Structure 1
Amino acid sequence: MKTQPATARARNAEATRCAILEAARDRFAHDGYDQIGIREIAALAGVDSALISRYFGSKAELFERVLETSKKSDLLEGGADGLARRTAEHLVDEGGADKPLDDLLLLLNSAASPIAGDMVRRSINQRYNEPMANMIGGRDPLLRARLFGSVLMGLIISTKIHGDAFIKALPRDAMIARLTRLIEEAIAET
């Protein structure tokens, strides 16, 4: 009989953790790290604020966990060959759908925070820039990886702002060719 309540509590604890993480992701993305408090996150998650401390520790530890659980892009999985074209095709065909705007907002709205800024930069470097630099190799790979990320973020934001008007301004193949050249230039060795 005692194993049944323990199992139910474990499932509820996991559901509570997920609710807290989703509420935190939403609030950090839209309000930034410095402008949101634990109580607001708890209210959005429908839990007592003490549970956030119990499950995650501090607000900084919660933010770090949100960064760790952000979705990674699949673009790096195909290797360096054809990366620019794969990225261009993805942007045209999917509009950057695997990289929700909330993940970008999470990074952008907290990057200037004295507390969260270092976590944001570390996360970007560990999750995107360093793997990309290792994949493309050559001279100045970290710089080229950062240029790739900058171009990609700019294109995703433009697509979100302008929608189909931006990405459909040219026929599909022409837009893919143009974006491929732009991305290739960003990652090219000089």
Structure 2
Amino acid sequence: MKCNQPIRRRDAAATKSAILCAARTLFARDSYENVGIREIASLAGSDAALVSRYFGSKEELFTAVLSSGERGVDVIGTELEGLPERVGELMFDPDDEGKSMEDILIMLHSGNSPIAGPIVRASIDERFHDPFASVIGGESAKERSQLFGSILLGLSISQQISGDITDCPELREKLKRRLADIIRKAIAPL
């Protein structure tokens, strides 16, 4: 989702989009409890009343923010065949410097919130665990999908903090194969 859309006068769709983008930006910076409707409206160049009009409550806006992110299967694909290799390619793509961490940051900031935590967990299930459980199939597919997601989450956070593991193309290929082996084991039937 691109958040650089200027608000046009009396354009409900642009205003709604600006509010959603402002909320995404602010929830990625701070916890659910520390972000206010007025702050969101201000960043969106809007009025707090419009936030309520378009989204209802702050809780509903938070849900909309999480729902607006990409689903894992939309990025990785829905075919079980070649899934581990696709993950390796995505995670070790040297040209993908713009990996967005917004969704992860939103979840990390608000995952322990009594209000936002259940919304975060439902979003993770809806956008990642459940679709990949369907792709993986079989007994304990949900748990294997959760293990798969945990591996990707850990690697994503590590790469964001530490940078790419290597600039060496040969070592990168070895790491892709190693990650594919780890993913293959994580999603294999128990």
Asked whether the two chains share a fold, i.e. TM above 0.5, the reply is: yes
Match of 1:39 in 2: 38
RMSD: 2.0
Task: Give 5+ residue unaligned stretches, structure 1.
Answer: 1-7
Larger helix proportion, structure 1 or 2? 1
Using the alignment, how far apart are the partners of 1:104 and 1:28 within structure 2? 11
Question: How many correspondences in the alignment?
Answer: 181
Q: Offset at 1:154?
A: 0.7
Letter in 2 for 1:46: G
Q: Is 1:132 matched up with 2:150?
A: no
Using the alignment, how far apart are the partners of 2:45 and 2:119 within structure 1? 26
Letter in 1 for 2:116: A
TM-score for both structures, normalised by structure 1? 0.87
Q: Offset at 1:120?
A: 0.8
Task: Give 5+ residue unaligned stretches, structure 2.
Answer: 1-8
Q: Is 1:154 matched up with 2:154?
A: yes
Q: Offset at 1:57?
A: 0.8
Match of 2:69 in 1: 70
Q: Offset at 1:95?
A: 7.3
Q: Offset at 1:171?
A: 2.0
TM-score for both structures, normalised by structure 2? 0.87
8 A Cα contact 1:76 1:132, kept in partner = no
Using the alignment, how far apart are the partners of 1:66 and 1:102 within structure 2? 10
Q: Is 1:178 matched up with 2:175?
A: no
Stretch deviating more after TM superposition (147-156 or 72-81): 72-81
Q: 1:167 to 1:17 in 2, by over 3 A?
A: farther
**Residues 88-167 of structure 1 correspond to what in structure 2 (within 5 A)?**
88-93=88-93, 100-164=100-164, 166-167=165-166
Larger Rg: 1
8 A Cα contact 2:32 2:113, kept in partner = yes
Q: Offset at 1:158?
A: 1.1
